[in-house]
A and B are shown apart, each in its own frame.
Chain A
């Protein structure tokens, strides 16, 4: 919906500098360079300019000016996103919320934290720890990613089967609309009257509003957590064992699986003592009261043995628990050591399809001539295939993208979806046309227009323009049928 801005870069900068510290209205390419991409650095674009407002009122004024001139606005937190959702628009403004970095209030009795959007995810739990509380969602970028970005992406993490996603852990969000109004969705309560706009905002990838304050729920820190590690000689057995634990009525705090490539890479890196010959490794963490954890750990060990585990080891100390997790938590950098580059995919599947999906991914791996390692949030079906490639080899990244695209198509085919937690952004915009039909995509566009009539918030992300969808679909189809073998030979 964006049209070419009628206002010049210089005019825009001058207007912003009249109410924002001029040092924080950035217009030179050198200083703007770090903003050209987010965590998915293959997608880059230089913005028109970057602003770092310090007050909500300044954000309002930025939005009003941009809305008036129809200048695109891309809100940005820490830039750790993995779908190029924060990639700048070349004719637009990057609105960095980096200066909104204060924890405004922690209420230990109500178990809430009131935060500015630029507060880092981990900083919330660190601050809440003095009250025996913590913030549930723990995306793997939690040391750097911000709560505003978490709201935009509906971030998950290792613990979401039991403790939910961002959407389950929010009380309210204050946001500035595209037209410059400040509204609060949600409240201090657990629900509000009428349609659930808070849920709609969560995961909307910066397309519906700019988050300026967030109130989150805090949870009491469990008395104890222990982890059982189990090795299996087939992916099928490992997958079945996950179902076995859940059928037993146990909801683990975390339940992660790695395939043989990931096991070896992670063990080389972390020296965690993983069973290197295993075809699948499960890490099952149980948390809660001392009594509950003892009861459930014993049951989980028994279930794993029953499902044919070739090795079972349970942490007896905090150090041992940390060591067992270290391999999983360093799986990405570990895989990074065995390949010049890797591309992390993010699809969700029904768990029962796991063995089938991994098998077909192995076949694709051969077809495309690229290796793939898998780490899997097994509890909730969220798969992270890591495709290994070398960006210095001409054509290899394109082949990687085509492989990734085939994986996402497979996820949809078996009843899953194209993104579990990384978002659509620019990266998966084509695959949206695989998961949704034109009427559904049009409904998304209409919802967007309800919040942002001029279409200035993060245009070109999240939902594809319908005119491209037929093209995407036929391209995807063609790629799916022919390209793998051609590419592998080329």
Chain B
């Protein structure tokens, strides 16, 4: 619960002056993501930079220091009947808001309620020159200047150290219900998308082990009326099921021996023909795959499905783990990186070998 931004600034300036690199660490729960951290780089710990700076429930706006644990944020929101609608995966008790935004991680409700990137309103960012900058703000609508706040989503700390994040928060739905039924993998894509095209309060649609799960949330009357119209059995432990999905604790995700791939693709695309196991989430837009393979073999499959693939966990963390970028976009990303971090201090090589 402290503001250590001065200390962080000093560390960044010292690294720059000394020609050192820094690995940015919050709660350390996402160390397995991205490429392996540079062993020669020092550690910049943001975890201590923690605490809720401002929270106005009536404004639906929350500002926290980047090292604030998700659990603390969620507890504060729950007191006012509110929640983070993007359902951040809590990959450990220390998972922080900063790490969540840097990795752009969102849970099962994402297609309907938006991602962490969607809810970000503003950030404070320490760039590679040791300048502590403020972008965006604490209001819902703000188009002054480039959207540097949302640019951070997925950048994995390569553009700077986020110190403060302002987010839109929303009321917790009054009621929720989960419907489950047996369905083959080749039927489920059409089914989940058709359901999503109906004006009903759907907030979850996933498939695993031959079963499709749909979640309804919102006004109690609307949830109940929709559940009666739609097929499927009511799942008694629905909330627990979705929490497992949200936190990647479902047994599908267990174990580190088989690599875990994330295909972020068009929701209606056919599922690639591969030998391993699939977990289909986000009504088809996020498909998890467990199986051995090379990134270069996965990429054409993801591209054909209208999206990209990353090696989310396991496998070789020293090669590329993120989808290949075309040359023109590589050039732009290098220059964007250079504009924030001209001395290449932050998380070198964590996102791509070339960045």
Contacts and interface: CB of A to CB of B under 8 A. Distances in A.
B117 A199 contact: yes
Interface in A137-187: 153-154, 156, 160-161, 164-165, 167-168, 177, 181-183, 185, 187
A296 interface: yes
By CB atoms of chain A within 10 A, which of B111, B153, B226 has the most? Answer: B153
B138 A415 contact: yes
A52 B144 CA distance: 29
A183 B333 CA distance: 12
A22 interface: no
Contacts of B117: 191, 196, 199
Interface string B210-253: 00000000111110111000000000000000000000000000
A220 B198 contact: yes
A394 interface: no
Contacts of B266: 110, 187-189
Contacts of A296: 219
Interface residues of B, number: 91
Interface stretch (A4-12, A244-252, A337-345): A244-252
B226 to A, nearest CB: 7
B153 A199 contact: yes
A412 to B, nearest CB: 9
Interface in B65-124: 80-81, 104, 110-111, 114-115, 117-118
B265 interface: yes
Interface in A188-217: 188-197, 199-200, 202-204, 208
Given A177-B328, A199-B117, A289-B225, A443 B269 contact: no
A435 B139 contact: no
A126 interface: no
A222 interface: yes
B308 A189 contact: yes
B155 A203 contact: no
A288 B219 CA distance: 10
Contacts of B329: 183, 185, 197
Interface string A286-298: 0011111011100
B24 interface: no
A243 B140 contact: no
Contacts of B264: 187, 189-193
A273 interface: no
B172 interface: yes
Nearest to B172: A249
Nearest to A199: B150
Contacts of A415: 137-139
B199 A289 contact: yes
Interface string A126-137: 000001110000
A291 B305 CA distance: 37
A66 B200 CA distance: 50
Question: Helix, strand, loop or mixed for chain A's interface?
Answer: loop
B298 to A, nearest CB: 12
Given A188-B266, A200-B147, A194 B139 contact: no
Nearest to A154: B143
A463 B146 CA distance: 9
B134 to A, nearest CB: 7
A386 to B, nearest CB: 18
A289 B226 contact: yes
B310 interface: yes
B245 to A, nearest CB: 16
B19 interface: no
A444 B146 contact: yes
Interface string B256-272: 00000000111111000
B139 A447 contact: no
Interface string A231-252: 0000000000001001101110
Nearest to A180: B328
Contacts of A280: none
Nearest to A462: B145
A197 B118 CA distance: 13
A428 interface: yes
A405 to B, nearest CB: 14
A439 B151 contact: no
Given A168-B118, A294-B221, A449-B339, A193 B308 contact: yes
Contact of A352 (B58, B80, B221): B58
Given A197-B151, A348-B139, A443 B144 contact: no
A107 B141 contact: no
By CB atoms of chain B within 10 A, which of A190, A294, A351 has the most? Answer: A190
A258 interface: no
By CB atoms of chain A within 10 A, which of B142, B152, B199, B268 has the most? Answer: B142
B144 A417 contact: yes
Contacts of B351: 193-195
B268 to A, nearest CB: 4
A279 interface: no
Given A168-B114, A243-B58, A381-B140, A196 B153 contact: yes
A173 to B, nearest CB: 12
B140 A382 contact: yes
A420 B199 CA distance: 29
A417 B198 contact: no
A440 interface: yes
A424 interface: yes
Contact of B118 (A164, A416, A436, A451): A164
A349 B219 CA distance: 29
Given A189-B265, A191-B264, A351-B58, A288 B145 contact: no
Contact of B171 (A197, A208, A249): A249
A111 B224 CA distance: 25
A450 interface: yes
A223 interface: yes
A298 to B, nearest CB: 11
B155 A196 contact: yes
A377 interface: yes
Nearest to A415: B138
B336 interface: yes
A208 B267 CA distance: 29
A350 B225 contact: no
Nearest to A351: B59
By CB atoms of chain A within 10 A, which of B57, B150, B153 has the most? Answer: B150
Contacts of B219: 288-289, 291-292, 295-296
Given A183-B326, A382-B140, A195 B59 contact: no
B352 interface: yes
B322 interface: yes
B194 A109 contact: yes
Given A160-B141, A246-B171, A192 B307 contact: yes
A419 B131 CA distance: 24
A439 B133 contact: yes
B154 A196 contact: yes
13 contacts: A154-B147, A194-B333, A199-B117, A199-B153, A202-B147, A247-B80, A288-B218, A350-B61, A417-B142, A420-B143, A436-B144, A444-B145, A463-B145
Interface of B: 56-61, 80-81, 104, 110-111, 114-115, 117-118, 127, 131, 133-135, 137-148, 150-156, 158-159, 170-172, 174, 190, 193-194, 196-201, 218-222, 224-226, 264-269, 282, 285-286, 305-308, 310, 322-323, 325-326, 328-329, 332-333, 335-336, 338-340, 351-352
Interface of A: 107-111, 131-133, 153-154, 156, 160-161, 164-165, 167-168, 177, 181-183, 185, 187-197, 199-200, 202-204, 208, 220-223, 243, 246-247, 249-251, 288-292, 294-296, 348-352, 377, 379-382, 415-424, 428, 432, 435-436, 439-440, 443-444, 446-451, 453, 462-463
